[in-house]
Structure 1
Amino acid sequence: MNRVDNTADYQLEHSLSCADGSSLLLARAGEHDYLLLPAAAQPAAGKLPHSLLAQPVDHTTLAGQDYACYLRDGQKLLSEIPPGMLNDKEVTGIACDIMEALLQLQLNQLALPIVDSEHILIDAQQQIQLLGQHAAISHDTVQQQQNLIQAGRLLYWLYSGRRYSSLPLASLRPQLDNELLQLCQQLLTAHTASPLPTRAILAQLQDWLVRQQSFIRPQGNHCAALEQLLQRMRHSPDFPALSQAVSAINHIGNADSERLQVLAEIILKDFSLTNKLLKVVNSANFSQFGGTVSTVSRAIVILGFDTIRNLALTLLLFEHMHNRSHAQEVRDVAIKALFCGLLARNLARHSGLREAEEALICGMFQQLGELLCVYYFRDEYRLIHKKISSGSTADQAVLHTLGLSYAALGAGTVSLWSFPESMISSLEPYPAGPVRQPQSSTARLRMLGNLAQELTGLLSTANPPSQAAARQLLTRYERASALDMKQLDTVIEQTQAAFDDYLREWSGEQPRHGQAYQLKTARLDTQAQQPTTQIVADDALTTSYLLAPPATASLLSAGIQDITLTLLGSYQLNDLLRMILEIMFRAVGFDHVVLCTKDPRQNQLQARFGFGPDIPELLKHFRIDLDQQDNAFCIAMERNVDIFIEDASDTTIASHIPGWYRQLNLAQTFIIFPLVLEKRKIGFLYGDKKQAHSLPLRPDELNLLKTLRNQALLAIRQKQN
């Protein structure tokens, strides 16, 4: 809306003189409070959407002066907060937010007319917003430099309680941390405006704040509680061996010229670990290099030191915690730890961050405290859950039972295992409220670990998390991670795919219930996940797939290997084609799979054999007339393209479905892989699912199915030759 010359809408309550000589008006319209700032003579430089930059909601003209109107319901001006009410940590948190906002402006070549306490809103949670974007100045480095100096003067006032003067801040606050004094002085004497020094100051402020807000560093009684729990674990028969192995891996430094040899030797000392690691390395997740890896040394050379080190650490923890009499309780927490680690790694990769491998361990260790508790302190763990059932919060129950938080227990153990400080700091939980943009590798690891932990918590509940809960989480992390809902869905699906593969490769099982199944199938918003049909014309009848958790890749890969071995020996063609159909049927979970071949006496494709319910009756009626060129089967054969129909009942596709197929009431979802050799139409492989949108296939799984089809063509060619 745009109120012009309508003074009745805004009831002026107060006028405030600002340091730049302008006046800021406090007004009320209806039930809302507003701030009216003089509008710029020139049009605004452009809107920069950012949660730390307030946006005007309206413009108005009062007494011939144009004003931008900012809503301030529930917020105060920073100038209305007495500096003495804020401690140094709170002031530094505000300083971080101011610097982050200025950094974003610099990156977009913008500057604010002024940065002072009269142009900053603050709410009850000490979340701030800078005013004045309606008058932002473009390409003005001088003004950007002034913004930094103004920010320094603002901090001078917040730290000292006095307006900026020639008196050194150190003389007014001799007890103020020397690092904060230096950072404030850097701003006051800023000689230039550039994202590099601004980012460096922001990173130092964040680091200082994290060191002061170490919630997981035990003190007093918490420290005694940690030592008592660690001592109990040390007396457990298996904990010392685990600690020794993990610590040995962590003590391999980057400067060690023989670190590959040392890592290999440590792994080879554990026969079970060696076999498990080589099994995983030779699995579908790591098989991109081709061939079989039979030694740990070659695995390190091919995949890299960091990958094998983190895989070894993951296997050590997962396998160690996996075997106990109360295995199901332990397993559920271990499963969450694995998922959280994979999710953190995928979040890093999707965001283009270089800390992906470290993020895997940081994500896993978010669950370490709970994992240690359920494994070593079974009675306490069950008492914690009784307290939660009685109405206590999870944090309260853990603190009252153990004497410290899960995070503190995990951090204390990680420190004992000689993990680097960046890894320990990543376990630091965030307080409530928006998460700041990380400016260092350590801060990024903490962000990735916490985001993965909170997402895992959403996905691990029995009830599907609502889209509102997911959006609330994205809003909390919007400054730290530029993920939208669609991207987040993609990251979760990729994580679920890797998670399912890992579980099958490690334990040889496919989870169908419990925590593993919950995490493998969870969706943030089930309604939003329903795909819409994209096939609207003949040209669109081409390969398509739906991203979803896989249940096929390992079985398909094993089946392809079996077919390859069969092709190297003597075989009957029909036997091999039946093997291919059986692999498709078992691995993907089709309701029916069918092989159709061309009848040499007629221009038709006839079903020959297959698998599935009522298959003999189906084979009698499954026949395609190649003279009818307008249906999906004929189009697949004529154009030699793979076709995937997600919903055969969709009105945009119905005209491409043959009448005989609809009469069979066979399936709403099906896929066709044509068998064409040198333009000769031999037939096709067919698979279906009864319900629409019920055939989730990832790109790698689709490629494996195509490989099976190509093997069928190779077998046919060999027999014909």
Structure 2
Amino acid sequence: MGATVNKITNAALPTHIGRFQPIDILGRGAQGIVYLAEDTQLGRKVAIKTLDKKRQDAEQLNQEAKNVSQLNHSNIIPLYEIGFHNDNPFLVYQYYEGEQLKQRLQKENKLKQFEAVNIINQVLDGIGYAHNNNIVHRDLNPSNLLIDKEGNIRVMDFGISVIAGTMTTNTDVTGTANYLAPEQLTNSELGPSVDIFACGLILYEMLTGHQVYSANNTMAVMYKISNETVAPPSKRNSDIDKDLDTIVMKALEKDPANRYANVIEMQTALKKYLKVDDDDDDTESSDSSTSSTIDFLLRRMKRKKDFPAVSAHITEINQKSSMSGVSSATELSNVILKDFALTTKVIRLVNSSFYGQFGGEITTVSRAVVILGYEHVRAAVLSIILFEHLQNNEQANELKNAAYTALMSGIIAREKAKQLQQISEDEVESAFVTSMFHLLGKLLSIYYFPEEFEAVKTLVSNRGVDEDQAMRSILGVTYEQLGRGIAKEWQLPDIIGASMKKLPEGVVPVAKNPEESLRHLACFSNELCAITNDSDDREQAYEELAARFNKSLGTSKDGIADLLDTSIKEAEEFTRILNIDTSNVTVFKNLRNNIDDNEEAEQSTTINNNATIENGVSIETVKVDKKTPEQNQHDILVNGIAEITDSLLSGSSLNEILTMVLETIYRGMGFNRVLFAIHNAKNKQVMARFGLGKEIDEIIPEFRYAITNTEDIFNSTIRKGTEYIVLDVDSDEYKDKIPAWLRKLTMPTTVVLYPLIVNKKCLGLIYADNDDSNINISMEALGFFKTLRNQASLAIQQAQK
């Protein structure tokens, strides 16, 4: 038993209570005073509850002590012994450092939903154990619930507990008036349901910041308990949903028969609310409460308007770039090409010095996938999606610095991985992604749970607890557990989730395999950035970090300095590609201040700072962005044709060439959809094989037709080799030549059809369309289209040899 100590003068304290020496007062209640005292025999602190002899006879006190002494549970404060001082009885309890829930509510008014549910679940654990031992508390209220710094709950003061069902209101009504059940005010048999009712009252108060029953005097409170209808908690707090309303209101039924029959039933309802699936245990932890917490937090995230979109995007990227290699370059390219801004940045990034070994020769996403490989492209895409998603929020400094720190950690790990023999070229990119995602749970907590994140920081700052303890107290899980749960939701590679796990303190041993090396790199790079952000004595901290990772990664203090020098330059190149000014970013400024003060470093920093204008757009980028959309599309077409020509000469596969052709048409001419369809002469059918664009995954399986003598544009293209540029499908010239199956499938405004003819035979076609009637297709663009079609035909011809 314990609480926050209330300082009083020594004159107000008794000199001793039996062999115990009072130190301070922990609290006062209707039954007496609770002291913090020293056990002079055993040399330990205890909590002593003195009782008013007039209100408690010895026989009832002995029964109370006997009842409480039976209880041994982690959520119940145990009774040590019973004694008498000056004929007044006192109870000796374990002293438990914690804050009364009442005090917490006085400071915070109301609690977050999950925190409130977590607290009441722990209370139910404790009283459920007591109920199984035929003991009812009968006085549950926020004053006798203690919360420690880790968020654990203990129920104190089973001082009015009775053998279940044996005491009725023929005995004095005992308990805190505002938290009594209706049957405690009438001549009714009492049982565990009175504690269920009290839990409902406490949960209601935590969720709303209001007592259910309050008035100026006890009689008025009792009248309300017996007669007043309670409004659902959502009436006082609109954030509470109907399901939680239902749980609270069932616990507050005036008729005990209509409440939850027992603790387990109420806990089951709460778990169902949190969507716990007992048959789908979390693979990373057998603790079902952790799994339910992550499930609950994911539900909250999914209610945010942007989370479903970014979640779906990342999940699809991972599905298409899976390690199995089943997905084709076309499928991965199509996911990226859905987002024009992302496509542009990916192309610019893979042609920058960040991927300098490719010499700026890549002009299509599909070519990037083929040349760089899935892992390189996935690293580029995931880093851009996550980084831009986070830094685009208005939560300014806290979130943005965390996002930049994550990026910097990834780049540091990438540069360090290049120095390690045990890391392959593909694993260098894995090091980048795993390190950038190492603190995913924290990043998304800042973004989606800003209030809870601030509460975590306050706990860490004011109470001296670590982040894990504070997170468990506020959100019920650690940042690591949340990050790994989201990684599973997004179907990220297992190595990313595994690399989120912290390393124990002390020297890190040599890694047993590349996967361990990636985890070590993730921890090293993030610890290095943490030092850069927070440490007062960075030089000493760098030296200690170098010693910690020397065996595993071969780090040294001088090596760290060189690593930071290289990494900051790479980071500046990366952020330049994304049009982001880093001159006022904390982690970047600190890193620049820590690199060697040589001429090259000064020049690099000067160039970076001078190459920015308002809104964080670099001069070099502005020059690129001055081009009109038409000029950009022209460049895409010209560069794409040149790249395809090189690919034809270098012997690239047919699928690679066709994918590049479709992508160049798609990006360079602004179509909504582009696809390649093959003509099966034997079956006299044309069917789509693959494509790019809007809803293409749904369209491909349905895009097929039989060759007939019908004079529609699709039959004419295959039978006669006719090219069609239809700017308006509803024009008098073409409205009867557009087949019904196409109108049903896509409802386009503009359609372009080019046959693929090899050795005088039409082997298929390229189809492109647009839903915008204002599209303008120039003669030059159509000339490029024809060139691309010819390149596709040549690729087919080469493949047939």
After TM superposition, the score normalised by the length of structure 2 is 0.39
After TM superposition, the score normalised by the length of structure 1 is 0.43
| Bigger CA radius of gyration | 2
